[in-house]
Amino acid sequence: MITVQAEPHPYVFDAARVALLCIDFQRDFVEAGGFGESLGNDVSRLRSTIEPTRAVLSAFRERGLTVIHTREGHRPDLTDLFPAKRDRGNPTLRIGDEGPMGRLLVRGSAGHDIVPELAPQPGEVLLDKPGKGSFYATDLETILRARGITHLVVTGVTTEVCVQSTVREANDRGFESLVLSDCTGSYFPEFHASALAMFAAQGGIVGWVGTSADLLSALDRSPVQTENVR
């Protein structure tokens, strides 16, 4: 078992039963000209998440552990886009409209891709989702249960939107999540801080919060048995 220093208390997991979740590291959220910027956000605030996440991704890859990437987006005909989602945000530029990186949050557009630094590799799960939570209208739960995954190390953007929805959905389904504070980010530093505080409050009511450095040192201290690990 691997033990990571975390809040509200150490997070303990079996490498054969853990998955790294990389949520929505898409150009549309992280780069200029994408959906995030169309909403008036300063997307440079998310860039600090990339390097620590790249280090965690490398550690999981080196050990042959499960890696899952998600992308938020919609079918080109937008048949999976509720007005309740479409009609929010910038009224002059909406999901599906043409932006500098192609149609905003539409599958197949350049902006929908994951940033090159964190691009999925063959053998890793790539999951497209129409909502904010990664379990909503996807087969994520089936994939996790088929692999015997019980624990999730969570990275991604943005902390208080897709990360928060996913971690809450995971908790309701019985998965134990460690959210990495430096591998998650928000356009609003105060929302990042309060979302993390909420996860770990009340004895970890939603999950654990830790850092990439503490996770990496715990992995280095504990040689992983690669049998049963994908």
Complex with ligand C5J: residue 67 or 105, whichever CB lies closer: 105
Q: Which of 22, 28, 113, 129 is flagged as catalytic?
A: 129
In the complex, least distance from residue 89 CB atom to ligand C5J, rounded to whole angstroms: 8
Pairing status of strand 98-99 against strand 102-103: antiparallel
In the complex, least distance from residue 139 CB atom to ligand C5J, rounded to whole angstroms: 19
Q: How many CB atoms lie within 10 A of CB 135?
A: 20
Annotation marks residue 22 as catalytic: no
Q: Which of 24, 28, 113, 214 is flagged as catalytic?
A: 24
DSSP 8-state assignment for residue 136:
T
Cα 71 from Cα 28, distance rounded (Å): 10
Q: Which of 28, 113, 162, 183 is flagged as catalytic?
A: 162
Annotation marks residue 128 as catalytic: no
Do 172 and 140 meet the contact criterion of CB atoms below 8 Å apart? no
Q: List interacting residues with ligand C5J (CB under 6 A).
A: 24, 29, 72, 132, 157-158, 161-162
Who's near 54: CB < 8 A, 6+ residues apart? 117, 118
Annotation marks residue 129 as catalytic: yes
Complex with ligand C5J: residue 120 or 219, whichever CB lies closer: 120
Sign of CA dihedral 87, 93, 99, 101: negative
Complex with ligand C5J: residue 16 or 81, whichever CB lies closer: 81
Pairing status of strand 66-72 against strand 125-129: parallel
Do 209 and 6 meet the contact criterion of CB atoms below 8 Å apart? yes
In the complex, least distance from residue 202 CB atom to ligand C5J, rounded to whole angstroms: 24
In the complex, least distance from residue 18 CB atom to ligand C5J, rounded to whole angstroms: 22
Complex with ligand C5J: residue 28 or 214, whichever CB lies closer: 28
* Residues that are catalytic: 24, 129, 162
